Each structure stands twice: as C-alpha cells, then as structure tokens.
Amino acid sequence: MSASRPQGVIPVVKHYLKWALRRYQKLHPLGKLFIWLVALFYICLGAFIIIVTPARIAQYLYDKAKVLAETRYGWLSIGAMIVLISFPPLVGHTTLTTLCGFAYGMNGFFISATASVVGSAAAFVALRYLFSERIRQWSAHNEKWQALESVIKAKGLPLIVLIRVSPLPPWVYSNSLFSSIEAVSLWQFVFATFFVFPKLALHTFIGSRVAALSDGDQRDRMDTHTKVLNGVLVGGGLLIAVFTSWLIYTLVQNHIQKLEGFPSEVDELAAEAIEQYDEEAPLLYSDTHS
C-alpha cells in the first residue's frame, strides 16, 4: 500500500517537489535536455518581454486578434485548433480558450464550448477504437489502472463528472484517460464535459478583460478607476481559476481515497492512477508491460 499523502500546504509542496525531482532523475538525457531547453526558452521570452515592453507586445497581439475576429471564418479556425489539440500529445486548450475571449469577447465562449465538446468527443471515439487492444494489454499489467477502472465502474457518472472537472490530468490527457476506461461510455463522457463550461467561461472572461487592457486606444479612454477595476478582474479571475482547480483536485483525491465499499489499498491506487497519468500511459505508452 502506498504511503498516505501529506496534509497541509508546506508538506504537500515538499511532496510534489520531491516527486518532480524523482521524475526528472528518471528521464532520458534527451528528456532532461528538453526540460533545460524549455527553461531557457522561458528565460529568453521573459527577457524579450522586458526589452520590447509588455505594452507593445500586448498591442501587437490585440491587433492580430482583431484581424482574426474580422476574418469571415476566423471563429472556425480557432474552433478547429481547439478540436485538434484535444488529441494527445498536443496541448494548449486553456491558451486557445483565453484567445477566444481575447478576440471575440464573451461571445468566444460559444466557440470554445462547442469546439471543446466536439474535440473531446472525437478524441474519445478515435482513441477508444484505435487503441482498444493496447488498452486491454496495458491495464492487465497495471494495478493502479485496474483499481481506477473498478472504482469508476462502481461509482459511475458522479465520479466521472468530478474527475472530468479536475485540473489533473490536463484537458488533452483527461480525454485520453476516459477513452482508456472501458466502463466509461461516450454519452457519460460528453455529459461530464458540459460541467467544464464554467471554467471555459472564466478563461474567456479573463481573455476579454486582458484584451481591453491590451489596446492602447481603449486604455487611453479609460479612467484610472476603470483600469484598476479591469486589472482586479483579471487578477481575481486568475486567482479564482487557481483556487478552484486546487479545491476540485483536492476533493477528487479525498473522495476517491475515502470511498466506501473498497479496501483502502484500492482507493489509494486509484487516486495515484489519476495523479500520475500522463502522455506515456496507457494509450501512448510504448511498453505495455509496465
């Protein structure tokens, strides 16, 4: 049986820092090199933002977003990108959802919501049928996955919804996760996806407020009170997004670990299966006998 997870903010932070370090140490040298290259990229990006200035970058992005919004099928191109990144290993769902708000205001919610449902359903169906044999082979040799499947099969739709709205695993790997669990049907998965809409609306709203602050003309017409209010709305939206993500993830983990009718070992393994699910398991895993 796995050790219980630590309680409290500091112990939890230490726990995940150690977990991340262990994962890093197990990486292939090329994987470690990739991590360092990503870090270097963000350092260079930060330097670029400082040199060019955030105002000029924001204005450029706003101008391009307006061109996209005024393009006849611009909404379709963003929707198509959201559908595309619903397939692993692509990422960027939150960024594109925020872009919908940046370019179209709150109307962008309808683009992101529709594309998210279509994209996730398409990914579910494609992965379920393309990798069905690999799923069975992988799950037959993985105790954590067997525990997660048994828990979801027994608890059904309420647990599926709870896991779906959790920030972990991320959007694209959540699609992969549910398509890997044979006990989850397509209608249950689509139904659970509708519960993600409040998060999509929040990201769209943040994007719309950032757009208002990015355009120099709009900023010049704003009084100080309006500028501060928009800044507070953006910051508050981000804090709400982070807090609700943490809260929902904590609720999912606690709920799974305290399910009635299952041995504590099964609960713990199921919780770990969600926590440690990533692009290597099980649909894209190269070795089915892990």
Tens of pLDDT, residues 109-164: 999 999 999 999 999 999 888 877 776 676 666 676 777 777 787 778 888 888 88
Asked if pLDDT for residue 264 goes beyond 70, the answer is no
Q: What is the 3-state secondary structure (H, E, C) of 238-261?
A: HHHHHHHHHHHHHHHHHHHHCCCC
Lowest mean pLDDT across 34-38, 124-128, 249-253: 249-253
Q: Which residue has the higher pLDDT, 222 or 188?
A: 188
Tens of pLDDT, residues 187-199: 999 999 999 999 9
The answer to whether 183 and 218 have CB atoms below 8 angstroms apart is no
Asked if pLDDT for residue 263 goes beyond 90, the answer is no
| Residue linked to tokens 């355009």 | 215
For residue 216, give Cα distances in angstroms to 69, 97, 210: 18, 23, 12
- Taking alpha carbons only, the member of 145, 130, 102 closest to residue 282 is 145
Amino acid 88 reads P
DSSP designation for 4: P
Average pLDDT over the chain, rounded to whole? 79
Q: Which two tokens stand for residue 120?
A: 């996730």
| pLDDT value of residue 115 | 97
| pLDDT value of residue 81 | 94
- Taking alpha carbons only, the member of 84, 100, 68 closest to residue 199 is 100
Separation CA 145–CA 289 (nearest Å): 13
For residue 198, give Cα distances in angstroms to 27, 57, 105, 110: 36, 29, 15, 12
| pLDDT value of residue 91 | 79
Separation CA 172–CA 84 (nearest Å): 10
CA atoms within 13 A on the CB side of 238: 10
Q: What average pLDDT does this structure show over 264-270?
A: 62
Is residue 290 very low, low, confident or very high in pLDDT (cuts 50, 70, 90)? Answer: very low
Q: Which two tokens stand for residue 263?
A: 């041995």
- Taking alpha carbons only, the member of 197, 152, 201 closest to residue 179 is 152
| pLDDT value of residue 248 | 72
Q: Which value, in Å, is the radius of gyration of the alpha carbons in the chain?
A: 21
Asked if pLDDT for residue 244 goes beyond 90, the answer is no
